[in-house]
Amino acid sequence: MSLIGTKLFTWWKGELVGNDAFGNRYFRTKAGAAKKRWVLYNGKAEASKVPPEWHAWLHYTIDDAPIHGVEHKPWEKEHLPNLSGTPYAYRPQGSVAKGGHRPAATGDYQAWRPE
């Protein structure tokens, strides 16, 4: 469905359920229609921008939308979208993308040779 089609469907049959920290808006069909849940992304459509609690709701893992958030454990990190292809992507030491050089081999590796 095109973006215009999605927006028309949302206007006609959609009911806003809530928003997340990334500005994404979550919808479900109004009463009486076939049950559907969907998201309208804030900016570029990138599925990794959906936090885990909303992902669970979208995929019918939980029934109630996490409109008040969920309690996070102190050891949990905050959700980040996929950063591949951005300046914030992970680049290990020696990565060509980082401009570094790979450390010299230590000589502790022996290649396997069939006998």
What tens digit of pLDDT does each residue of 87-106 get? Answer: 888 888 777 777 777 777 77
Interval 5-60: pLDDT, tens: 888 888 888 899 999 989 999 999 988 767 899 999 998 888 899 999 999 999 99
Q: Which of 35, 37, 30, 34 is nearest to 11 (CA)?
A: 30
Q: Which of 30, 21, 18, 22 is nearest to 57 (CA)?
A: 18
Interval 62-89: pLDDT, tens: 998 998 878 888 998 888 888 888 888 8
With a cut of 70, say whether residue 1 has pLDDT above it.
no
The band of 108, judged by pLDDT with boundaries at 50, 70 and 90, is confident
Instruction: Say if CB 29 and CB 15 are below 8 A apart.
Output: yes
User: Partners of 27 in the beta sheet?
Assistant: 16, 38
Q: Which residue has the higher pLDDT, 50 or 107?
A: 50
The band of 109, judged by pLDDT with boundaries at 50, 70 and 90, is confident
Instruction: Say if CB 79 and CB 46 are below 8 A apart.
Output: no
Secondary structure percentages of the chain, helix, strand, coil, to 5: 20, 15, 65
Considering only CA atoms, give the Rg of the chain.
22
